[in-house]
Structures are given as C-alpha cells and as structure tokens.
Amino acid sequence: MIISVDELLEMPEFIGINRSVLTRKLNGIENLVRSYTNNNFQNRMKRFSAASSASILDGCSELMKVGDTVQITESINQGLYVVTVVDRENNTMTLDADLYDAEHNLVTKIEYPAAIVDGVVNLMLWDVQNRDKVGVQSETLSRHSVTYFAQDASNQLMGYPTTLLGFLKPFTKARF
C-alpha cells in the first residue's frame, strides 16, 4: 500500500470514514498509479525467494518489516501483498492474503517515493471532498444556478482532474 490507512485516519478529513472503504480506495489508486506510470516501483536490491503455504512465506529478509508492500512474481501467487508479521526466529513472513502452496515465490520490496505518497494523499483528499461535485463548474445559491463543464480527455484522467496527476509524470516509464 502506498500509504497506510492508519496514517490517513490521523488526518481530520478522513475521520469517520470506514477503514475498509479507505483500504479499497487506496488499493484502487495504487493500481491506477502503477498502471498509468508503467512503473512497478520495485527495489530489486531488496529481493529474496521463498516457498509459500497459506499466507506464510517460508523465508524472510532482514530488509523487510511489518507494513511493507511486497510484490510476488514468478509464481502462481503473483500480486501485491502487505507484510503483517515478520518472524525472524522461525525465518517466516506472514502476508495479508492467502497464498497458494508454491515451491518458488520471488518476493520484492515495493518502495514509493515521497512525491508519490503526497500525490496519492492529494487524490484521496480530492476524492473525499469533491467526488460528489464532479462536473460542477460553478453554483449559485440564490435562484439556484448550476453550471456543468465537459468531462473529457482534456481535463480528466482516470476519474481525477489532470491537474492532480502531474506528480506521476517523472515516474512514468516508456511502454514498448
């Protein structure tokens, strides 16, 4: 996850919002960011291989801690997971979702730059404060007048205003 739900809930704008709703929105934004930028944000220097059963990896790395996002590749378990328990004594790591039994999982730590984290917080703030006002350009209360603007490719991207997505440009990788 780009930013933890606990960190968001410390901000006054997110108080009272259900944890599962915030988790779902954060996961969706994370997928949008990774897809749009064609960047998986893997730190290939922090990688190891381990077998898996249930939600446990039979191996761990001293470079990973609880709350880290990891990506599993080269396995039936491909995907993004969050580390929930690191047991260095037994050399195991528990993830936030069940895994299929597999002899080989390539586990790589995901690290997002601070600019990505700040940009995602801004997207979440916009989502909470303005999602219900999408399309309204101006509104007058006396005699009630509302003006809508066109929502097209020139002023929105992935359901968000293009002005909010400028932070992604430096992290975009070429597609071949």
Residues of the domain holding 106: 42-110
- Has residue 61 been placed in a domain? yes
Q: Is 153 exposed, middle or buried (0-12, 13-18, 19+ CB in 10 A)?
A: exposed
Specify whether 167 is located in the same domain as 149: yes
Specify whether 51 is located in the same domain as 92: yes
Q: Which of 72, 92, 110 corresponds to the end of one domain?
A: 110
Specify whether 12 is located in the same domain as 66: no
- Asked whether 126 and 164 are in contact (CB, 8 A), the reply is yes
Q: Which of 87, 110, 133 corresponds to the end of one domain?
A: 110
User: What confidence tier does 159 reach under pLDDT thresholds 50, 70, 90?
Assistant: confident
The total number of residues shown for the chain amounts to: 176
Specify whether 10 is located in the same domain as 35: yes
Specify the amino acid at residue 71. Q
CA distance 125 to 41: 23
| CATH at residue 98 | 2.40.30
For every residue of 1-63, DSSP letters joined together read --S-HHHHHTSGGGTTS-HHHHHHHHHHHHHHHHHHHT---EEEEEEEEEEEEEEEEE---TT
Which residues, listed in sequence order, are joined to residue 82 by a DSSP beta bridge?
69
Task: Give 90-112 pLDDT, tens digit per residue.
Answer: 999 999 999 999 999 999 999 99
Specify whether 46 is located in the same domain as 105: yes
Specify whether 34 is located in the same domain as 116: yes
Specify whether 28 is located in the same domain as 84: no
Which residues, listed in sequence order, are joined to residue 138 by a DSSP beta bridge?
147
Specify whether 30 is located in the same domain as 60: no
- Has residue 176 been placed in a domain? no
CA distance 152 to 40: 28
Q: Which of 90, 110, 130 corresponds to the end of one domain?
A: 110
How many domains would you assign to the chain?
2
151 pLDDT above the threshold of 70? no
* Model pLDDT, residue 149: 56
CA distance 69 to 45: 15
Task: Give 108-139 pLDDT, tens digit per residue.
Answer: 999 999 999 999 999 999 888 876 666 555 66
* Model pLDDT, residue 160: 82
Task: Give 19-67 pLDDT, tens digit per residue.
Answer: 999 999 999 999 999 999 999 999 999 999 999 998 899 999 999 999 9
* Model pLDDT, residue 34: 95
